Amino acid sequence: MQHLHKIALNVLTGNLQVQATETLLILTDIHQQEIAKIFYEAGLTITKNTLFVMMPLLEKSGQEPHSAVTDLMASADVTLCVTSHSLTHTTARKNACEKGGRVATMPGVTLAMLEQGALHANAEEIEALVEHYVQLLNETATVRIVKDGHELTFSIENRHGIPSTGIVRKSGDYGNIPSGESYVAPIETSANGEILIDGSIANIGILQEPLLLKIRNGRLEDAVGPDGPKLLSLLGEENGRTIAEFGIGANKSAILCGNVLEDEKVYGTIHIAFGSNAPFGGTNKADVHIDCVVKSPIVYLDGKELIM
């Protein structure tokens, strides 16, 4: 366990730069509490103001936590969410950052992910590649994704790219740990076409067979494949089916493992998400956010192929 304590301490001091004078909130649930305790014990060696809170288990990523949890997040200097489902794209996270807090999320993280893979990538390389992709996104109006004969197009005009490097050191910063992606909220009604998902999907895992998503005017109309009914059920019938995110993986150490926390960071992949994007520059509000990872697509930004 000593090596895990050292890894947790590196995350808290390196990625989050937790200070002795700060309040650190370790937020977890019944399924992730054992891993969260590693971070809690490491946190106590940095600041005596380390809190360990076990929240009610959420049903899916993007779901808002209990209001008491939202209040705790808003009052902490640093919040580390070691939870089963992601709180990254929630109003609770947004509120905490607006109060000046720093929030890092590690949804579904496993012991294996602590010991190898994305968490051990070269930080400087990730920061440089993430920034490169963000600049390209900021200069782009139209995105076209081609995969095995299927095409999806959408607009990101006047939407700002967001860097996620895994470094959460400044007031108001947030992001996944481990990380390495650049992402943006597409214009919600602009997406049309089809996209073949052949990597993994949040809350589902690695796909045994590809899933063909059919999208019209920004809304997911059908998901053809064995996991289609489950994806549609996760998203619900309302705003959960609206396109929310386009992301580009930028972590060359990340491994496709079935956990979207790491899968969406894999270099050479992109991901499309549906549901909530109001917390990061979009207009859609939904109590869900589900990422879908595509391996080795061809991506065109304003007609120019993106080299990945």
pLDDT in tens, the chain (308 residues): 789 999 999 999 999 999 999 999 999 999 999 999 999 999 999 999 999 999 999 999 999 999 999 999 999 999 999 999 999 999 999 999 999 999 999 999 999 999 999 999 998 999 999 999 999 999 999 999 999 999 999 999 999 999 999 999 999 999 999 999 999 999 999 999 999 999 999 999 999 999 999 999 999 999 999 999 999 999 999 999 999 999 999 999 999 999 999 999 999 999 999 999 999 999 999 999 999 999 999 999 999 999 98
| pLDDT for 2 | 83
Q: What is the rounded end-to-end Cα distance, in angstroms, of the chain?
A: 37
> Do 45 and 74 fall into the same domain?
yes
Q: Using CB atoms within 10 A of its CB, is residue 50 exposed (0-12), middle (13-18) or buried (19+)?
A: buried
CA 108 to chain centre: 11
| pLDDT for 16 | 96
Rounded to 10 degrees, the C-alpha dihedral 7/57/164/227 comes to: 110
| 13 HSE (CA, 13 A, CB side) | 13
Domain end, chosen from 48, 78, 108, is at 108
> Do 74 and 31 fall into the same domain?
yes
User: Which residues, other chains included, contact 132 with Cβ-Cβ below 8 Å and sequence gap of 6+?
Assistant: none
> Do 67 and 41 fall into the same domain?
yes
Domain end, chosen from 66, 86, 108, is at 108
For tokens 């089809």, what's the residue?
A: 194
CATH code at position 69: 3.40.1830.10
Total count of domains within the chain: 2
Query: What values do phi and psi take at 266, rounded to 5?
Result: -60, 125
User: Rounded to whole angstroms, how far apart are CA atoms 305 and 282?
Assistant: 25
Q: Is 10 left (phi over 0), alpha (psi -120 to 50) or beta?
A: alpha
Residue 271 near residue 262 (C-beta atoms within 8 A): no
Q: Which domain holds residue 53?
A: 2-108
**196: helix, strand or coil:** strand
CA angle 66, 257, 230 (to 5 degrees): 55
Assess if residue 292 is contained within a domain: yes
Domain end, chosen from 108, 138, 157, is at 108
**Token pair for 258:** 């079935």
User: Which residues, other chains included, contact 258 with Cβ-Cβ below 8 Å and sequence gap of 6+?
Assistant: 200, 205, 206
